[in-house]
A and B are shown apart, each in its own frame.
Chain A
Amino acid sequence: MSTVALAAAIMTGLGLSFAIVLAVAFKFLHVPEDPRIAHVEELLPGSNCGACGKPGCRAFAEQVVAGAALPGLCTVTGVEGVQAIADYLGVDAGSTEKRVARLHCAGGAAHARGIAAYEGLRSCAAAALVGAGGKACSWGCLGLADCQVACSFDAIHMNDEGLPVVDIHKCTACGDCVRACPRDLFVIEPFSLKLVVQCRVPLKGDQATALCSVACDGCARCELDAAPGLIHMENNLPVVAPHREGDAGPKATYRCPTGAIQWVEGRQFEAEDAVERPSRRPHALFG
């Protein structure tokens, strides 16, 4: 009986002494932390997407509280969320302009000329290396949805023409699709910029339109019709000057013979979901 009592006493004593050590350690080895960091982190989306350029939401919260970054750098939170953080910390919100990813190509299956059938990995990066993916155009969208796979916000869905439709409400301008596209067709643009050049073909005239019926043929009519200096031609393609959204109007698109330059209100392309064939995607090969 006494053995049992002894064991209980030893265990209680040990527990008590460790508790005292922990209590003392908690008191004297305490690292003071700004409680605001935790609160800001809570206000952030927690997606750790890296669009702000920081390793994650926690690191971003630390920098925002320290004043090294403005809350507006986070494109995922949305305008209200950013304002909430700014109000809480009493700092300037920074730029909170809504930005979205836009595809500088409109050459879906109905418009871009196909010259061969690509039968291989269902991945744009792979198709780009084999006969340029079977499309006549070496610059356009390959339509195999690498961007859809890369998007962590489920904002990109391929339509039945093989073009990625960006959900403008879900798109957070994180830039994952920009990196995923082997043809570098995605550009993060201010949502208020509605004049979008949907082509990357550097050829002129018939050479361009032989590849795709919605290719830019470099006629420069948009340059003439837009406000002075708003559009200039570079490499046979129109380039819209940045930060001049106020000057832009749909007039520049009226005389475009192919519709390569578009006035985009909302999403770029019609959404009609394509039938997925997931089994031949690279990540499905190794179970």
Chain B
Amino acid sequence: MSLPGTAARFPSFRHGIHPAGHKESTAGLAIEHLPLFSHYLLPLGQHIGAPSVPVVSVGDGVIRGQLLAEPGGFVSTGLHAPVTGHVSHIGPRRHPNGHLVPAIEIRADPFADDRPPPPSPTHAAGMDLGDFVKFVQKGGMVGMGGAAFPTHVKYALPPGRRIRRLVVNGAECEPYLSADHRLMLERPEAILRGTAIVAEQLGVEAVYLGIEANKLDALDALERARCGFPDLDVLQLVPLAVKYPQGAEKMLIKAITGLVVPAGKLPLDVETVVNNVGTMAAIADLFDLGKPLLERVVTVAGSGVRRPANMLVPLGTSVRDVLEACGGISEDTSMVIMGGPMMGMPLASLDVPVLKGTSGIIALAAKDVRVSGTYGCVRCGRCLQACANFLNPSRLGRLAAVGRYQEMQKHYLMDCMECGACSYVCPSGIPLVQLFRMSKAEIRNREVAT
């Protein structure tokens, strides 16, 4: 028997960690719009999979929402102009991952008509699944939780397979981030509308929307909004325990349905598809307004930010511009992370664009950044208690340090989702996830070489 108000009341998964939330600085702040900036930069590879292929050339005038690049393969998506202007450059520009990669640069037209165009809805009801998948792909939809996996790929079912459950992910378990929270509070209708479209297309039997229990106001907002969606009577709003990584696909499925996705398998193998609430809202806009993915909500927070905020940011806006719109960063800022602090990437430069998967920009002052030395493994086993995939990070780390990569694969390295829970709890400060990423990269290189 647990006390009311404790985590144990709500369903969850086993293992995991409880990092400090830090969400209070932005959770109460309504989503703001950014002013127009002069340049927008769209890297061609900002999703998982093949880079997009440009269909415009330097000097072309583009209007907001126009297709700039079409999908470069099946696991790839379209890219659209976030603002009206002209293409000023196509070539190598710095990606948030630090590398110089091909990108399309748009110089914005300051005198362009900024009013949203009249909605041009597409009716999803009559579409067959193949057309639906193509439409979503061309609309540039990716998983907006952070991974930026092309959404349409999840809907393209291999023959003979079906999806019975749709799980909408409103967990937002990363510390600092409140973008999904605000979206659920301010646009619950759009989220439910997108959910209804996808649920109908896939013909699912059950729809769940999971929200961590620290956002029960969002749950209320969705509960109030759902009366407008009589088709969604199968929808269940599920409050979840506040625990990291609750928003990971496999953990979410386990918490809500009790199903376990086996090692090396996908949610599809348990007839389930998981989508972020941001993706659902974007799909609603795609069908109801004819608006492809042009902008997203980004949480700007952390001890280095002068004025934390939730911003609706056009894709391609530079991180420097976004931070300056938030009053700039303080002098003692020592690290800026794109995404959440657990899984995001530290930025080497502020002159990089906001991508489709950018859920947050976290600037941390030096006092909040641990750059302590690392010590030897003391075999305490805390990482085993933390790993939600039931891996043995200590052993994997030991193998990674001496380069025994094949053995690591036998210990299910490829099932590691790099959530960072093991690194977080390690009392010796061993950068376990970095070792695993390094090992995965090495394994992939060797596979390519052979």
Contacts and interface: CB of A to CB of B under 8 A. Distances in A.
B438 A121 contact: yes
Given A129-B441, A283-B401, A285-B401, A121 B345 contact: no
A123 interface: yes
Contact of A285 (B92, B98, B349, B397): B397
Given A125-B441, A280-B373, A285-B376, A115 B434 contact: no
B380 to A, nearest CB: 13
B347 interface: yes
Contacts of A119: 371
A138 interface: yes
A221 B99 CA distance: 28
A125 B442 contact: yes
A141 to B, nearest CB: 15
A125 B435 CA distance: 9
A180 to B, nearest CB: 10
A282 B401 contact: yes
A92 to B, nearest CB: 32
Interface string A190-213: 000000000000010001000000
Interface string A101-142: 000000000000001100111010110111111100010000
A26 interface: no
A131 B348 contact: yes
Which of B98, B377, B400, B435 has its CB near the most chain A CB atoms (within 10 A)?
B98
A126 B98 contact: no
Contact of A138 (B99, B401, B438): B99
Given A121-B434, A283-B401, A287-B377, A133 B98 contact: yes
B347 A131 contact: yes
Contacts of B377: 285-287
A116 B441 contact: no
A123 B441 CA distance: 13
B374 A132 contact: no
A283 B401 CA distance: 5
Contacts of A130: 98, 345-346, 434
Nearest to A114: B348
A120 B92 CA distance: 27
A286 B397 contact: yes
B334 to A, nearest CB: 9
Nearest to B400: A282
A121 B431 contact: yes
Contacts of A279: 373-374
Contact of A116 (B347, B376, B438): B347
A121 B373 CA distance: 10
Chain A contact residues: helix, strand, loop or mixed = loop
B254 interface: no
B318 to A, nearest CB: 14
Interface string B366-381: 0000010110110000
A283 B346 CA distance: 24
Given A121-B435, A282-B435, A134 B397 contact: no
Contact of B97 (A123, A131, A285): A131
Contacts of B92: 203, 207
Interface string B319-362: 00000000000000000000000000111110000000000000
B383 to A, nearest CB: 12
Nearest to B445: A182
B127 interface: no
Nearest to B92: A203
A245 B21 CA distance: 64
Nearest to A281: B401
A43 B331 CA distance: 64
B226 interface: no
Nearest to B370: A119
Which of A121, A207, A284 has its CB near the most chain B CB atoms (within 10 A)?
A121
Nearest to A203: B92
A130 B401 CA distance: 18
Which of B348, B376, B402, B428 has its CB near the most chain A CB atoms (within 10 A)?
B348
Contacts of B348: 115-116, 131-132, 134
Interface in B187-226: none
Interface in B382-434: 397-398, 400-402, 428, 430-431, 434
Contacts of A134: 98, 348
B100 interface: yes
A82 B363 CA distance: 60
13 contacts: A121-B431, A121-B438, A125-B441, A131-B346, A132-B98, A203-B100, A207-B92, A279-B373, A282-B435, A284-B376, A285-B401, A286-B397, A287-B376
Given A129-B441, A130-B345, A285-B401, 16 more contacts: A121-B435, A125-B441, A128-B441, A129-B437, A130-B98, A131-B346, A132-B98, A133-B98, A134-B348, A138-B100, A203-B92, A282-B400, A285-B376, A285-B377, A286-B376, A286-B397
Interface of A: 115-116, 119-121, 123, 125-126, 128-134, 138, 182, 203, 207, 279-280, 282-287
Nearest 4 interchain pairs by C-beta: A132-B98, A131-B348, A131-B98, A116-B348
